[in-house]
Amino acid sequence: MPAPLSADRRVDKALRQILERALPGVRGLLDPYRPRLIFLGGSAALGEAVGWDTGAGHPLLLSDLDLSVVTDDPVPAAIRAEVDRWCRAPDGPGAGYAGGADVVTVGTYAASSLGGETPTPGVYDFARHGRVLWGDGRLLGHFLPGRLAEIEPAGIGFYEGVRLVGNRSLELLRVSPPPHQGGGRELLALDRARAFFTLAKACAGLWTASLIFEGRYVAGWGRRAALLDAPAGDAAAESTPEIREAALLWGAFLRAPSEATLPQAGKRLSSFRDGLAAWFDLLVRR
């Protein structure tokens, strides 16, 4: 796997080391169900994984390692839960890394069921950009067979944009402590990093959802961020200025999370509030 998982060399090194621990463990737990392929999706597969720069020589890991396993036999829910517990265990693959306990996620697919997936952004992204880690890479071509060309940019369903904003909003509601400074107890470093990262993803999610609505979806935050620079006079750009401003505000932070790249304190929460209001207006106009 020569291509980097992250532009940050420290994040890349940590994630590769966690993968080296995770792969044999996941294969062992799922061996009775005859694994045929393990691949990586998400931001790491696109080389966009990030961590919070602590200035202390080690990053707090924020991006997931989204692993998927194709097996000959369906994996029961109880076994999937067992795999999840092992990934999150104190002695699991992320042990010894700040934030490592929550990094590895594992999904499973039965080989006999491939091809009937709903074209969500996540499924589209890994079908086109997934990285084979072990096994028969040809099976990746069985996801969304013959449909990839029609999906980008216009084939992600409208409802997927609605679902994305709902999920990001729920993640934001679950953040504890809240993503702001001043008053109350001092935020722990990892809690603080995750809180701001969740808020940044919520703002970016509004932009992604608007691209889905407009039939302009593309894989990867880097490519979606490039669309924020649409020239003045572009009808799509003018239709959602608050959404664009929220995504632009958090753009530098999403590329390299740190204290130095945080937006101005007074605009952090208001950017999501104003962007969400604009998104609801966009939803009503459809």
DSSP string for 176-192:
SS-S--SSSSPPPHHHH
Rounded to 5 degrees, φ, ψ at 78 are: -65, -35
What sections of 111-220 are H helices per DSSP?
121-129, 148-151, 158-174, 189-213
- Residues whose CB falls within 8 Å of the CB of residue 227, separated by 6 or more in sequence, listed in order: 211, 216, 218
Amino acid at 43: S
Task: Give me the residues paired with residue 52 across strands.
Answer: 60
pLDDT value of residue 192: 85
Tell me what the mean pLDDT of segment 90-118 comes to: 88
The pLDDT tens digits of the residues spanning 34-88 come to: 999 999 999 999 999 999 877 666 788 999 999 999 999 999 999 999 999 999 9
Query: Where are the extended beta strands (E) located within the chain?
Result: 35-41, 51-53, 59-61, 65-71, 104-110, 131-135
SS3 for 105?
A: strand
pLDDT value of residue 138: 92
Q: Quickly count: other Cβ atoms within 10 Å of residue 258's Cβ.
A: 17
Length of the chain in residues, anyone? Answer: 286
145 vs 87 pLDDT, higher one: 87
Q: Using alpha carbons, select from 166, 203, 33, 169 the residue that is nearest to residue 111.
A: 33
Percent of the chain whose pLDDT exceeds 70: 87
* Apex 206 CA angle, 255 and 179, nearest 5: 65
pLDDT value of residue 101: 73
pLDDT value of residue 231: 55
Tell me what the mean pLDDT of segment 192-212 comes to: 93
161 confidence band (pLDDT: 50, 70, 90): very high
Please determine, for residue 137, whether its predicted confidence score (pLDDT) is greater than 50: yes
CA distances from 236 to 82, 212, 215 (A): 46, 12, 10
Sign of CA dihedral 180, 182, 183, 188: positive
187 confidence band (pLDDT: 50, 70, 90): very low
Gap between the Cα atoms of 49 and 77, Å rounded: 28
Average pLDDT value for the chain: 87
Q: Using alpha carbons, select from 126, 249, 261, 113 the residue that is nearest to residue 193.
A: 261
The pLDDT tens digits of the residues spanning 271-281 come to: 999 999 999 98
SS3 for 59?
A: strand
